[in-house]
Amino acid sequence: MEKALSGIRILDMTHVQAGPTSSQLLAWLGADVIKFEPPTGDITRGQLRDIPNADSLYFTMLNCNKRSITANMKNPAGKEVFVELLKKCDVVMENFGPGVLDRFGFTWDKVHEINPKIVMASIKGFGSSGPYAEFKAYENVAQAMGGSMSTTGFDDGPPLVTGAQIGDSGTGLHLAIGILAALQARVRTGKGQYVEVAMMDSVMNLCRVKFRDHQRLTRGNLPEYSIDTTGRHATPRSGNDSGGGQLGNAVKCKPGGPNDYIYVVVQEAVWENLARLMGGDALVQDARFSTIGERRKNQAVMWGMLNDYASNYDKREFMAILNGIDVPCGPIMSTEDLANDDHVHLRDMYVELDHPQRGTWYNVGMPIKLSDNHVPMERSPLLGEHTDQILQEVLGWDKSQIEAKRTAGAFTK
């Protein structure tokens, strides 16, 4: 079956979330991903467990379509296994804390010397240079330091983290793009290169438009914000304001539960239809809303009217009404809504899988659809499930060579 990355083998030392989401995407694009784990396994195998002694959903959801080998990098025989695999792989990926790989003796220079064609890809909280380089990072640390938390929430409330894992999974996406570019460059140059992505940098990249507003603040009030931004020096939290050229906000529907809202964008082109729907010709003619500039000025009144109108409908009913007049909108979908949504299932975005330790479970699907990349989703590997297979198939070792390494402690603590 056709796979976009057929022939690319990845030595995947990544752990927790940021790295594994990246290598999982590359596996779904067809790469052979070898998860290289310490004998105790990726720490997430045991974190937030819902079934005793079974690999957690935290692990299973981020490590599909990979094979697992264990090797102890603190043992000379384990290091030899690593070096032999390095020679046979196209990419090596890691997201250890600062200095871990150097302490193992594998700087980029060393890795490049062992295999000049290999691409080495690293995630660090803050990169390898600058005053923050020595610090570890987790998702919310990156959200805090990359500009996301200070711009999320309401102006009169505390900074908030966003549910989307932009610090971890967002950084993983950036890393995957860097790896693909480095592999493409290698086609021309024959040489591998070092790809580094910092979580803080990735979050800043995803907050790019907040820096647009940061600079616009110097020219006065930002009229699209529902709060007065005059005199501010940093982009404020703007609740559910659209953040774009069109007005938008979350509108409450019946019966008034925590997710009974619909996000509505009052696009310039649809105002007349929307006004006619809510208030007939009188509202269409109302000078307070006749231009987008007027609607910005009077948006509190406009959103009040929309909320009153929406209170007659549930979010799906209101979605149907708004879609009928071409108003861009989206009901606020809970995880329960999404897990049961026909559209989501038809697009293979919530996929049923089996697992020897946990039975049936679900993973979020592969969001990048290629016409010639047929990779069925496969469950995550058990710890060390493919150690012997990988040594035989990738390194060509026979049983006695594997046993010798086993006896020397290569695969155990």
Ligand X SMILES: CC(C)(COP(=O)(O)OP(=O)(O)OC[C@H]1O[C@@H](n2cnc3c(N)ncnc32)[C@H](O)[C@@H]1OP(=O)(O)O)[C@@H](O)C(=O)NCCC(=O)NCCS
Q: Is 72 in the site for ligand X (CB under 6 A)?
A: yes
Tell which one of 16, 262, 322, 391 touches ligand X (CB under 6 A): 16
Q: How far is CA 162 from CA 10, 23, 167, 207, 297, in A?
A: 31, 23, 10, 12, 28
Report the residue closest to ligand X, judged by CB.
Answer: 97
From the list 16-24, 189-197, 332-340, 361-369, the region that binds ligand X by CB under 6 A is: 16-24
Tell which one of 132, 138, 309, 313 touches ligand X (CB under 6 A): 138
From the list 22-30, 50-58, 66-74, 235-243, the region that binds ligand X by CB under 6 A is: 66-74
Hey, CA dihedral for 349, 208, 263, 332, is it positive or negative? positive
Q: How far is the CB of 203 from ligand X (least distance, A)?
A: 12
Q: Is 125 in the site for ligand X (CB under 6 A)?
A: yes
Spell out, one character per residue from 104 to 123, where the chain touches ligand X: x when CB under 6 A holds, - when not.
Answer: -------------------x
Judged by CB, which is closer to ligand X: 14, or 238?
14
Judged by CB, which is closer to ligand X: 127, or 328?
127
Spell out, one character per residue from 161 to 180, where the chain touches ligand X: x when CB under 6 A holds, - when not.
Answer: -------x------------
Tell which one of 9, 38, 140, 373 touches ligand X (CB under 6 A): 38
CA pair distance 9, 117, nearest whole angstrom: 12
Judged by CB, which is closer to ligand X: 38, or 409?
38
**Is beta strand 9-12 parallel, antiparallel or unpaired with respect to 91-94?**
parallel
Q: Is 124 in the site for ligand X (CB under 6 A)?
A: yes
CA pair distance 179, 173, nearest whole angstrom: 10
From the list 11-19, 58-66, 109-117, 395-403, the region that binds ligand X by CB under 6 A is: 11-19
Nearest CA to 299 out of 232, 242, 236 is that of 242
Tell which one of 5, 11, 18, 175 touches ligand X (CB under 6 A): 18
Q: How far is the CB of 380 from ligand X (least distance, A)?
A: 16
Beta-carbon contacts of residue 32 (< 8 Å; ≥ 6 apart): 8, 9, 10, 67
Task: Please measure the distance between the N-terminal and C-terminal CA atoms of the chain and give it in whole angstroms.
Answer: 38
From the list 47-55, 71-79, 287-295, 350-358, the region that binds ligand X by CB under 6 A is: 71-79
Cβ-based neighbour number of residue 235 at 10 Å: 23
- The SS3 of residue 265 is strand
Tell which one of 76, 97, 244, 396 touches ligand X (CB under 6 A): 97
Q: How far is the CB of 87 from ligand X (least distance, A)?
A: 17
| Torsion-angle region of 85 (φ positive above 0: left; ψ -120 to 50: alpha; else: beta) | alpha
- The SS3 of residue 169 is helix
Alpha helix (H) residue ranges in 190-266:
199-206, 208-216
Residues with catalytic roles: 168
Q: Is 347 in the site for ligand X (CB under 6 A)?
A: no
Cβ-based neighbour number of residue 134 at 10 Å: 13
Q: Are 377 and 66 in contact (CB under 8 A)?
A: no
- How many residues bind ligand X (CB under 6 A)? The answer is 22
Q: Are 33 and 65 in contact (CB under 8 A)?
A: yes
| Torsion-angle region of 338 (φ positive above 0: left; ψ -120 to 50: alpha; else: beta) | alpha
Q: Please report the DSSP string for 105-142 in residue order.
A: T--HHHHHHH-TT-EEEEEESS-SSSTTTT----HHHH
Q: How far is the CB of 52 from ligand X (least distance, A)?
A: 23
Judged by CB, which is closer to ligand X: 37, or 241?
37
Judged by CB, which is closer to ligand X: 18, or 207?
18
Q: Is 71 in the site for ligand X (CB under 6 A)?
A: yes
From the list 51-59, 134-142, 305-313, 392-400, the region that binds ligand X by CB under 6 A is: 134-142
Query: Interface residues with ligand X (CB under 6 A)?
Result: 16-19, 38, 71-74, 95-97, 100, 103, 123-125, 136-138, 168, 199
